[in-house]
Amino acid sequence: MTISVPAQSAASSPAGGTTAQLEVSGVDKVYQARRGEVHALSHVDLTIGRGEFISLVGRSGCGKTTLLRILAGLLPPSSGTVTADGESIWRGGKRNDQAFEHFGLVFQDANLFPWYTVADNIALPLKLRGVGKKARRARAAELCELVGLPGFENAYPRELSGGMRQRAAIARALSYDPTILLMDEPFGALDALTRDKMNLELQSIHAQAGATVVFVTHSINEAVFLADRVVLLTPRPGRIRSITPVPLARPRSLETETSAEFQEIVRVLRHELDEG
């Protein structure tokens, strides 16, 4: 069964013929370090469809987070272009703020403000956008329900488990209905059981919110379980080695991971990763 597709093939286009929402073309990133230049990314080309879930995997230092930070407007590319809904998000090395109005970001650390309640943390982006208090509280309650935190609206971050804090962080990122959600190893610090539960939760959230998701992880199993396509990067400088479709039916349960098809996809990706 052939499931891995060369990066320069048609698989670099969205699965299922969906409309392109994010397009990365010829992106390079070179850092200036004390010991000279560090070539982090080299000629990355990727088209991501609207509503698609993309997982980025690869060895440590391969440029996964660098690519995500370029997509997030936190780091300019050295060359190449990135567009969202046809609009360039970088213009001459400067971030186009207007293009990021519908982006949501989730990192490994939940980064909740300890002096704010869960509801206030979730609603903070809305407050910064001038949304009224009543509407903010209603949206926070709605999102607490969505991410599995009903009844914790008035709790403080210190009163939550790690998984619950990450749920609150995801809810905050969803507060203003982003169409693109960028996630950098959001469950990397969680124990295995909590991580499995969060993967199920994220799958459900993605189905309901309908946002396009780009998800960085070190776990091949997690990448395959969540994604429509898995993008594997080579060691530095990061290039796209392969783009693997994941044709598994949704919704996926934990039992999906025991299926022969799932295991075969994981096996091929692990083999490619080991080959470097």
Residue span of the structural domain in which 240 resides:
5-55+68-98+200-275
In a domain, 206, yes or no: yes
DSSP string computed for the chain: ----EETTSGGGSPGGGPPEEEEEEEEEEEEEETTEEEEEEEEEEEEEETT-EEEEE-STTSSHHHHHHHHTTSS--SEEEEEETTEESEETTEE-GGGGTTEEEE-SS----TTS-HHHHHHHHHHHTT--HHHHHHHHHHHHHHTT-TT-TT--GGGS-HHHHHHHHHHHHHTT--SEEEEESTTTTS-HHHHHHHHHHHHHHHHHH--EEEEE-S-HHHHHHH-SEEEEEPSSSB-EEEEEE----SSPPGGGGGSHHHHHHHHHHHHHHHH-
Residue 82 has pLDDT above 90, yes or no: yes
Structure tokens at 134: 């009543």
Counting Cβ atoms within 10 Å, is residue 89 exposed (0-12), middle (13-18) or buried (19+)? Answer: buried
Do 76 and 271 touch, CB atoms closer than 8 A? Answer: no
Interval 78-83 mean pLDDT: 93
Is residue 78 pLDDT above 60, yes or no?
yes
CA 82, 111, 58, 3 dihedral sign is: negative
Give a yes or no: residue 139 inside a domain: no
Tell me the residue type at 264: E
> How large is the average pLDDT for residues 209-227?
95
Residue 64 in tokens = 């996964």
Taking residues 140-169, what's their average pLDDT? 93
Query: At 13, which CATH number?
Result: 3.40.50.300
Classify residue 168: in a domain, yes or no.
no
Count the alpha carbons within 13 Å of 58 in the hemisphere toward its beta carbon: 26
Q: What are phi and psi of 100, to 5 degrees?
A: -100, 10
Mean pLDDT of all residues in 180-200: 90
Q: Return d(Cα 210, Cα 95) in angstroms, integer.
A: 25
Mean predicted confidence (pLDDT) in 48-66: 94
Q: Is residue 147 part of a domain?
A: no
Domain assignment present for 125? no
Q: For residue 149, is it within any domain?
A: no
Q: What is the total count of domains within the chain?
A: 1
pLDDT value for 35: 79
> Is 87 a member of any domain?
yes
For residue 249, being part of any structural domain is answered with yes
Residue 123 tokens, joined: 């609603």
What pLDDT, in 10s, does the model give residues 89-139?
A: 988 778 988 888 889 999 988 999 999 999 999 999 999 999 999 999 999
